[in-house]
Amino acid sequence: MNVLGIHCAFSHLNHDPSAALICDGKLIALGEEERFTRIKGARGLLPFFSIRFCLKQAGLKMEDIDLVVSTGETIKEQLDNNVKLFFKHYFGVVPPIQYINHQFSHLASAFFYSGFDRSMCISYDGRGDDLSGMLAVGSSKGIKVLEKMPIKDSVGLFYCAVTQFLGFRQAQDEYKVMGLASFGKEGEDISSLVRISDDGYSVRQENFGHPFPIRTLDEPIYNENLIRALGTPRRFGEPITDRHRNLAFAVQRSLEECVVRLVKRLHAKTGLDSLCIAGGVGLNCSANRIIHQLPFIKRLFVQPAASDRGLCLGNALVGAYENGEKIELPGHVFFGPSYTNGQLLSALKLTGQDYIELPDPGTKAAEMLAEGKIIGWFQGRSEFGPRALGNRSILADPRSIKMKDEINARIKFREEFRPFAPAVLEERASEVFEMDQPSPYMTVTFTVRPHWVEKLQAVTHVDKTARVQTVSKETNPLFHGLIAAFGRLTGVPVVLNTSFNARGEPIVETPLDALATFSSVGMDALFLGPYLITKPKPPRR
């Protein structure tokens, strides 16, 4: 059975359209529209290019699709004609379409992907299908919903609103608030925003919302009550002050207290020690760290594409499961496009780039990293989700704090408070970080062991934690080999890994995207498959 899962942005308030294809229980392809359109978040767009990629990857036509699954259960009547019109116009065929709940899709994307036989499950985000989350139990019998969380107590919308108040974009920049929080301290009173009790919390609704409808994600969702409670909001581009840092600290702390109470409540109902998490709040890796440290949590799985971009996967998984398909778990997220050496060469010739072909690009890359070079690393199928995991990455030496400043100044052009992530050999991860299980998707932060802090200055955050990616030889042998080679040269089995994109852009998808970004920023070299491209040294003055 061929099941196509889609997430469509049929409104300017929607974002991250995407598509997933499962054929006979096997995941074939995952596509994010932003990667193809080059519009970050692809707000208000439909997943045409994502669907087309999935079909091409499987060698199928739309006529071969047995079922399309979409979120939008609560607005099916309003949505159905638009979805059918979309398929009719772009593909000429309208397959059978099923609609499921937004929050249930998040649950499925986490539980069915985790490999756990039985687990607590949490979905939480801003809003979706008239809810802000669900608590559930997943088992071999499927997913049983235990509790539905109303929008009025949405911790996601609370965090989004303060993200906007701090001068960032909602549904896009929440991770900036998370990073900024580590630079703050106690002192800002936000008790008027969220009330936290022993067994839960409630969001003070009078601070959010307006008497008229919001038309875009860039309009503020907070109102004058919040301004009276917190003072003047930070305007976009204004300097960040201690007040802003302290407010970020307070908001992050409140979020952590809220989610811990949810987890404890779910544990009290189930007695289980495994937990699966999805929904946009699931991308808050600092909160995930607090959850991971709870004494009753033995196993934690956070969906790597926890935000709405992962809904296509949840939809496809639900469609496959409910139709009796035995789902094969892949153990990775490398399900985007790949390119032949011929296609890579065509891009190089089109752009007139000089290059050399390498028999062992990983070893050469490690040597350049050890020399202090910053490189682009473009290999294999692209990874699904918001984090580059070693196939569409910018890599650097993690040892010197100066490297963090170099990357920010020459390549990423981003706020100085935002941390970079380490990619570490899976078999040596517990030696470097305080962790007892693999973390292949950068979804949880871990404490850097004291004697490694000085050795990893570029990837250790101000609170001595890092958003760790463990790299296994089985899942990504080429990237693993690069890190191992760097470890042999330097004694450090870790590289700095950040997404291959410039500020405000999606992660690169095609060879031409990689070449364009390489040419426009201050990278020293680009490894495009087996081909190495370097920049000429600037003339001496």
User: Catalytic residue numbers?
Assistant: 15
Question: Could you give the angle at the alpha carbon of 276 between the alpha carbons of 274 and 279, nearest 5°?
Answer: 160
Which amino acid makes up residue 447? T
How are strands ordered across the β-sheet holding 421-425? 356-357, 531-534, 525-528, 375-378, 392-396, 494-499, 421-425, 469-471
Query: Which of 372, 364, 383 lies closest to 500, judged by CA?
Result: 383
Q: Give the whole-angstrom CA distance, residue 418 versus residue 246.
A: 16
The two tokens of residue 144 are 């049983």
Instruction: Of 455, 478, 464, give the one whose Cα is nearest residue 398.
Output: 455
Instruction: Using DSSP bridges, classify how beta strands 2-7 and 67-71 pair: parallel, antiparallel or unpaired.
Output: parallel
Rounded Cα distance, 421 and 339, in Å: 26
Q: Checking DSSP bridges between strand 494-499 and strand 392-396, what pairing results, if any? A: antiparallel
Can you tell me the distance from the alpha carbon of 149 to that of 436, in angstroms, rounded to the nearest whole number?
A: 32
**438 CB neighbour count, 10 Å cutoff:** 16
H or E stretch covering 457: none
> What interhelical angle do 285-292 and 174-181 show, nearest 10?
60
CA distance 163 to 246: 13
The three-state secondary structure class of 360 is: coil
293-299 LR contacts (CB < 8 Å, sep 24+): 294/260, 294/263, 294/264, 296/267, 297/263, 297/273, 298/273, 298/274, 299/116, 299/119, 299/273, 299/274, 299/275, 299/437
Given a contact cutoff of 8 angstroms between Cβ atoms, the answer to whether 336 and 344 are in contact is: no
Q: In the structure encoding, which two tokens stand for residue 497, read together?
A: 């890994």
DSSP assigned state of 491: S
Residue 479 CA, chain-centre distance (Å), reads: 20
Distance CA 103, CA 499 (A): 28
Q: Give the separation between CA 186 and CA 439, rounded to whole angstroms.
A: 30
Question: 52 in the Ramachandran plot: left (φ > 0), alpha (ψ -120 to 50) or beta?
Answer: alpha
Distance, first Cα to last Cα, the chain: 65
Distance CA 82, CA 87 (A): 9
Instruction: Evaluate whether 389 touches 487 at the Cβ level (below 8 Å).
Output: no
DSSP 225: H
Cross-strand partners of 124:
133
